[in-house]
Amino acid sequence: MMTVSEAAKAFLACDRYLILTHRNPDGDTVGSASAFCRGLRALGKSAYLYRNPQITKTYLPFAEPLFAPEGYVPDVTVAVDVADVRMYPNGYTGRPEYCIDHHGSNPGFAGETCLMAHKASCGEAVLEILKAMNAPIDGDVADALYAAVSTDCGAFQYRNTTADTLRAAAELIELGADHVALNKKLFRTFSRGRLTLEGMVYTTMRQYRDGTLNVAAVSLKMLEEAGAAEEDMDDLASLAGKLAGVEASVTLREMAGGMVKASVRTNGNPDASKVCAKFGGGGHVMASGCSMECTLEEAEARIVAAMLEEWQ
Amino acid sequence: MMTVSEAAKAFLACDRYLILTHRNPDGDTVGSASAFCRGLRALGKSAYLYRNPQITKTYLPFAEPLFAPEGYVPDVTVAVDVADVRMYPNGYTGRPEYCIDHHGSNPGFAGETCLMAHKASCGEAVLEILKAMNAPIDGDVADALYAAVSTDCGAFQYRNTTADTLRAAAELIELGADHVALNKKLFRTFSRGRLTLEGMVYTTMRQYRDGTLNVAAVSLKMLEEAGAAEEDMDDLASLAGKLAGVEASVTLREMAGGMVKASVRTNGNPDASKVCAKFGGGGHVMASGCSMECTLEEAEARIVAAMLEEWQ
């Protein structure tokens, strides 16, 4: 494990960087990698991003101008926000010399790792490292880091948000991040398919147990009618929990081939992992998942019964 | 006008406080007043809140334990977040000795005013004053101020959010604000009526001009079917602007008696105030309103035509 100052020293001594984002890339990995790449360049280094084919159009503007050209041969590879070798981006087969991360579970797969597990986002770790390197931080770097920080803490709403997260965001605004435009783009803009699907969920969800259990069921027909794509499914399981009075929610999604996927969210009671274990699934006490081979209606009846049984 | 240190000195010299919140009270006025009242009490002062009858149940827990008993006779009255005499709470007829505010338009109706117009919220002003008074800030005060700050900047999403706003929130978390519970309560919990109504809006809104103009029409029948109350209408006009690609939106609401209220939101083009002026309404370039006596369908046709005409 490297400290921030050790990492800064090591990165100042190298050149010809390739920077990896993780599989199923989110705002934190793309924003952090983009900012780190630009910061290295501002210090006179050669630096490019691995051409991760999964980066979606929301985050592509941060990454695309920095993608490594065909045939680029790096001296050092740095994995950013990559928690495990299983999270290597599609097509990558090497072993990174360095890793910058904030996942406490990171096993240290890279040559050297700078792990800041107390940070809500990897973006906060990259900000500290760039400052320790005295890298110039311009508006583009600040934008990328603001995207990283703010998306990983759910626009400062999630449980992982700390005073330090808010201070990092404050610093990035002062460094030139266009937080107004980024907030609008990242948190207040939705596709037609997503909004229609949300609308369908809100108008069809059903309550049980005096309104403390809320169930949303999303059929293949609804998805088709909404014109919703896979990317419109992000965080779908959080919608049913928005209803006042709800202590636990289940989101059911009909899959092709007669399967139903269930996502269970609770305040801890009932234990979501115990409920899902009954159907061969699992996860955490407050968030778990499982699959069933049945109709949506049957899945709802089964999982509601299991929830009521486990409720203390 | 008083500076923060002048205000602190003045408030330390007085006792027997009555604190006013504003008409149509929001999180900022209630949270700020509640925190100021508790801070004064922690300094050994007698302090109560004016019994503002309009405080809604979301914010009542901050205010109710502090309401002045019948017959309480204050020495000094402090208006908090009250921008104008027209914003006095229902039933109040006096003139406050002091005012703490962040509205640049405050005309100075009180005896003395501490105006911090650069603050996104009045809560940030109260935090500074309490610190200048060396008032003990406990978890209840921090909770009330976090509610004040975070609601007035739309959970750090609105244009008024500054680096200082985020730093104030960071400080409040360190002072013991339960930001996780408050975020959940204030920003991620909605009534059944509200969610159903949002769902109806998302599934029925219509696009014009290659998707750059989005129109939501809310009928009396929809409100009834959704079981939506007046308090579920908050910020309804922002929903149609969430659709990707939209540059301007119109939200139409059918009122009893054959009237339709229109709320127009744009990025500046077309000029919303010019569009609404055609129907006898007005407002700002980016946000205006008007009323029409016609059906929802007619109102939609008329205002869409006016929007297209004004679009540069």
Is B170 in contact with A173 (Cβ distance < 8 A)?
A: no
Specify burial of residue A251 (Cβ count, 10 A radius: 0-12, 13-18, 19+): buried
User: What is this model's ipTM?
Assistant: 0.92
- Return the structure tokens found at B263: 């709320």
By C-alpha distance, which of A183, A151, A201 is closest to A27? A151
Rounded CA-CA distance B153/B145 in Å is 13
Q: Look at A170 and B170 and tell me if their CB atoms are within 8 Å.
A: yes
- Residues B161 and B86: their CA atoms lie apart, in Å, by 26
Percent of chain B that is helix, strand, coil (3-state, to 5): 45, 20, 40
Asked if B195 contacts B201 with a C-beta cutoff of 8 angstroms, the reply is: no
Q: Which of B57, B188, B189, B202 to mutate to test the interface with A (most CBs of A within 10 A)?
A: B202
pLDDT in tens, A147-178: 999 999 999 999 999 999 999 999 999 999 99
Question: Which of residues 161 through 180 in chain A touch B, CB cutoff 8 A?
Answer: 161-164, 166-167, 169-171, 173-174, 179-180
Chain A nearest CA to B184, separation (Å): 8
* Residues B201, A199: C-beta atoms closer than 8 Å: yes
- Inter-chain CB proximity B202 and A202 less than 8 Å: yes
- Beta carbons of B167 and A164 less than 8 Å apart: no
User: Nearest-CA neighbor of A99 among A26, A11, A39?
Assistant: A11
Residues sharing a CB contact under 8 Å with residue B9, sequence separation 6 or more, in sequence order: none
pLDDT tens for A117-138 read: 999 999 999 999 999 999 999 9
CA–CA distances in Å: residue A7 to residues A133, B56, B97, B134, B296? 9, 52, 57, 41, 63
Is A242 near chain B, with CB under 8 Å? yes
Answer whether A274's CB lies under 8 Å from A310's CB: yes
Class of A193-310 in CATH:
alpha beta
**Would you call A199 and B195 a contact, using CB atoms and an 8 Å cutoff?**
no
Instruction: Find the CB nearest B203 among A157, A179, A196.
Output: A196
Contact between B124 and B116 (Cβ < 8 Å): yes
Could you report the average pLDDT of every consecutive run of 10 residues in chain B (312 residues)? 97 98 97 98 98 95 98 98 97 97 96 97 98 98 98 94 98 98 96 97 97 98 95 92 97 96 96 97 94 97 98 95
Q: Is the pLDDT of residue A231 over 90?
A: no
pLDDT of residue B234: 87
Spatial strand order of the sheet with A112-115 comes to A47-49, A17-20, A76-80, A98-101, A112-115
Amino acid letter for position B262: A
- Tokens describing residue A219: 């059929």
From B146's Cα to the closest Cα of chain A, the distance in A is: 12
As a whole number of Å, the end-to-end CA separation of chain B is: 43
Longest dimension (CA), chain A: 63
CA–CA separation, B294 vs B257, rounded Å? 10
Is A199's CB within 8 Å of B198's CB? yes
Domain boundaries, chain A: 4-187, 193-310
Alpha carbons A84 and A107: distance in angstroms, whole number: 7
Which 145-164 residues of chain B touch chain A by CB within 8 A? 155-157, 159, 161-164
Q: Which of A157, A190, A203 sits opposite B200 (nearest CB)?
A: A203
Q: Which CATH number fits domain A4-187: 3.40.50.1100, 3.60.21.10, 3.30.465.10, 3.90.1640.10?
A: 3.90.1640.10
Residue in B34, B20, B27, B31 with CA at minimum distance from that of residue B234: B27
Inter-chain touch B180–A159, beta carbons under 8 Å = yes
Q: What is the pLDDT of residues B51-72, one digit of tens each?
A: 999 999 999 999 999 999 999 9
Specify the pLDDT at position A234: 87
3-class SS string, chain A: CCCHHHHHHHHHHCCCEEEECCCCCCHHHHHHHHHHHHHHHHCCCCEEECCCCCCCCCCHHHHHHHECCCCCCCCEEEEECCCCHHHCCCCCCCCCCEEEECCCCCCCCCCEEEECCCCCCHHHHHHHHHHHCCCCCCHHHHHHHHHHHHHHCCCCCCCCCCHHHHHHHHHHHHCCCCHHHHHHHHHCCECHHHHHHHHHHHHHCEEECCCCEEEEEECHHHHHHHCCCHHHHCCHHHHHHHECCCCEEEEEEEECCCEEEEEEEECCCCCHHHHHHCCCCEECCCEEEEEEECCHHHHHHHHHHHHHHHCC
The distance of A47 to chain B (nearest Cα, Å) reads 30
User: Torsion-angle region of residue B244: left (phi > 0), alpha (psi -120 to 50) or beta?
Assistant: beta
